Amino acid sequence: MKGDLLRGHLDALLLAALATGPTHGYGVIGRMRHTSDGELELAEGTVYPALHRLEQDGLLSCTAELSQGRRRRVYALTEDGERALAQHRAEWHRFSSVVTRMLMAATA
């Protein structure tokens, strides 16, 4: 699945990846790859500006932790982030069911 298809959904995917607990950027990528069974082909570098933007918008919090001798920035969902994720889920559910109905109707 190409990254182009993800355009507009990256924020929601990042919030969803962090819903299971705080982690750093590489951990976020690992969770996305694991959950999608390697189907997502995302340029990994694009994750960082998006994480920073979500942090600026108050949807993520960020703390510095020392891990394996490196200072890592660990991201976590805030309460606003949890609300935004719930909203993304509801919108996606509506959107996907409408698109599915339309695509299936065309073949019926």
Partner 1 sequence: MITPDRAGDDPVEAYLDAVLSNSPGTPRQVRRTLAEVEAHLADSVRDLQAGGLPPAEARAEAVRRMGAPVAAVDRPWPAGSLRLPRPVRRRLVLAMLQIGGLAGLFLGVAGAIAAAIQAIWGSTAIATAFPPGSYSQADCRRWLAAYPHSHGCVAAMISDHAFDFQRNAAAAGVLGVLLLLARHWLRRRWPGLPTATESLVGAGLAALCTLVFAATGFDAATVTRGQGVGQPVSLALAAGCAAVLLAGAARRSAGRPFWSRRA
Binding site for partner 1 (CB under 8 A): 24-26, 29, 43-46, 48-49, 52-53, 56-57, 70-73
Residue 23 or 82 with smaller CB distance to partner 1: 23
CB of 37 to partner 1, least distance (A): 16
d(CA 52, CA 43): 16
CB of 104 to partner 1, least distance (A): 33
d(CA 22, CA 10): 17
Residue 19 or 62 with smaller CB distance to partner 1: 62
